[in-house]
Structure 1
Amino acid sequence: MPHNFWMINCNEQNYNITRDLGFTKQALKAEYRRKVQRVEPGDRIIYYVTGARVFTATATVTRSYEEVNSGPWIKEGKTAWPYHIRIKPNVVLDAEQYIDAGLLAYRLEYVRKWPPEDWYMAFQGNLHLLSKNDFFLLETEMRKLRDGRDLALRQVDAELAAEEERSNSQRERRRRAPSRNAGRPPRSRSSEQGEDRAQSTVETPVAPAEEGQASPESLPTNGRQRRNARSRSGSRRPAADPKQSYDNG
């Protein structure tokens, strides 16, 4: 399933170089490195030839970019074409079938922010990211010219249906995929607080008491225990000597 839909702009000479290579390779300019990094296998491409302002062909990416020091493409301005991707052709029109972009530009979402008479300004630059609707609108018109209206519409409908089915199956797989915490009950705040209290009451090891000192375990820990300790200590006073009491009497 294509992730992105691209429009590649080049002059007629560089387009003819790609066509003569059988639409097996395509060069991209150095100034668009970030966009080039997003191009991946399965992405779709449509060609727009500057100067003539026509749409000429569509293709599919088969391999991501690689940096190549040389190639048959010529510079357009000061920028070279160091990034090469592998492609395969889909719809390739003959020269007499090239579509005048001005006839379809007003129907494209991509150029809506431009005045109608300046639509071509939106196509400046080598690499553009189109919407799926824009891409299939253009490719449908190209198929009509190549295959006839009826066959073109059937082909496009079949392709859109297949893509929709792939999208639905992918969403279903994501929905059914077990999550990392699947089967684990959610932790409530009260249970977390209980664990914190339990950790705070864990007994800690204490040093043994020195001789003549009470150990920490023998010390009362609250007021009630202290009162009980005092009452017990009071009841353990030594009994008075009867002889001493008699003498005093």
Structure 2
Amino acid sequence: MMPRNYWMLSLTEENFLVTKNLGYSVQGFRVPHHKKIKRMLVGDRLLIYVQQLSSFTTSLNITSEYFEDHSKQWTYIHEKEDFSLRVHMEPECVLNKEEFIDAKILAPRMQFIKNWRPEDWHLAFLGDLHLIPKNDFKLIEDEMQRTIDKRSKKSYKNN
């Protein structure tokens, strides 16, 4: 199935660890993003960016339409927010912490930030959920795949 939408989710490090500990199988979103969440389709792609680390960490495939679940997993400054709009997903590229891709390296090549002054690129990543161009997604995921391929070659050499 061809993805229709390419998403970037900007998470706190704490909420990224929640998603990671859930095996990257589900992601919750804040209710203010309901219009965007309703546009998510099976086969769409999702990229995770961790704010405090200014890094891309994971690419995923969305495997369900959104559903509601009020179980407490992720945290937000407002206690009432329970990230109740959720989708199921499966990981495509998962980097180890020391492999995370520094956004400063790839951001200048992204169409997504072209309306920002170069020194203000990080402002484009504010907010939780963004639709990004397919080429930007591919740029980042290709770099993730290269990193994973290098890891595979290293472990092969060590055996």
Above 0.5 in TM-score?
Answer: yes
| Aligned-pair CA distance for 1:62 | 0.3
Q: SS at the partner of 1:148?
A: helix
Aligned to 1:120: 122
Looking at structure 2, the residues matched to 64 and 47 of structure 1 have their Cα atoms a distance apart, in angstroms, of: 18
Matched, 1:96 2:98: yes
Once residues 149 and 58 of structure 2 are traced to their aligned partners in structure 1, the CA distance between those partners, rounded to angstroms, is 14
- Give 3-state SS (helix, strand or coil) of 1:147's partner: helix
Return structure 1 stretches of 4+ with deviation > 6 angstroms: none
Aligned length: 149
In structure 2, what is the Cα distance between the partners aligned to 1:71 and 1:64?
A: 20
Q: Report the counterpart of residue 70 of structure 1 in structure 2.
A: 71
- The residue that corresponds to 1:87 in the other structure is 89
Backbone CA RMSD of aligned residues: 1.4
Structure 1: runs of 5 or more not aligned: 152-249
The separation in 1 between residues aligned to 2:133 and 2:111, in whole angstroms, is 8
Q: SS at 1:69's partner residue?
A: coil
Partner SS, residue 3 of structure 1? coil
Q: How far does the alpha carbon of each residue in 1:57-76 deviate from its partner, in whole angstroms, 9 at most, with x for none?
A: 0000000111112231111x
Partner in structure 2 of residue 110 of structure 1 = 112
Which residue in 2 is equivalent to 1:134?
A: 136
> 2:156: which partner in 1?
none
Mapped to 2, the partners of 1:94 and 1:26 lie a distance apart of: 19
Give the distance between the partners of 2:30 and 2:10, measured in 1 at CA: 10
Tell me which moved more, 36-45 or 140-149.
140-149
* CA deviation after TM superposition for structure 1 residue 80, in Å: 3.6
* In structure 2, distance between residues paired with 1:80 and 1:108: 32
SS class of match (2:70) = coil
Give the secondary structure class of the aligned counterpart of 1:85. Answer: strand
The one-letter code matched in structure 2 to 1:82 is: S
Superimposed CA distance per residue, residues 136-187 of structure 1 (whole angstroms, 9 cap, x where no aligned partner): 00000111111139x9xxxxxxxxxxxxxxxxxxxxxxxxxxxxxxxxxxxx
Structure 2 residue 48 is matched with structure 1 residue 53: no
Looking at CA atoms only, which structure, 1 or 2, has the larger radius of gyration? 1
Matches of 2:97 and 2:40 in 1, distance apart? Answer: 27
Q: How does the TM-score come out when normalised to structure 1?
A: 0.58
| Structure 1 residue 93 displacement after superposition | 0.1
* Cα distance in 2, alignment partners of residues 71 and 3 from structure 1: 30
When structure 1 is superposed on structure 2, of 66-75 and 40-49 the one drifting more is: 66-75
Deviations 1:12-68 (A, max 9, x none): 111111111111100111111100000110000000001111000000000011111
Once residues 71 and 35 of structure 1 are traced to their aligned partners in structure 2, the CA distance between those partners, rounded to angstroms, is 21
User: 1-side partners of 2:142 and 2:13: how far apart?
Assistant: 22
TM-score after normalising by structure 2: 0.90
Bigger fraction of residues in helix: 1
Uncovered stretches (5+) of structure 2, i.e. residues with no partner: 154-159
User: Matched residue of 1:37: which SS?
Assistant: helix
Residues 73, 82 of structure 2: 8 Å contact kept: no
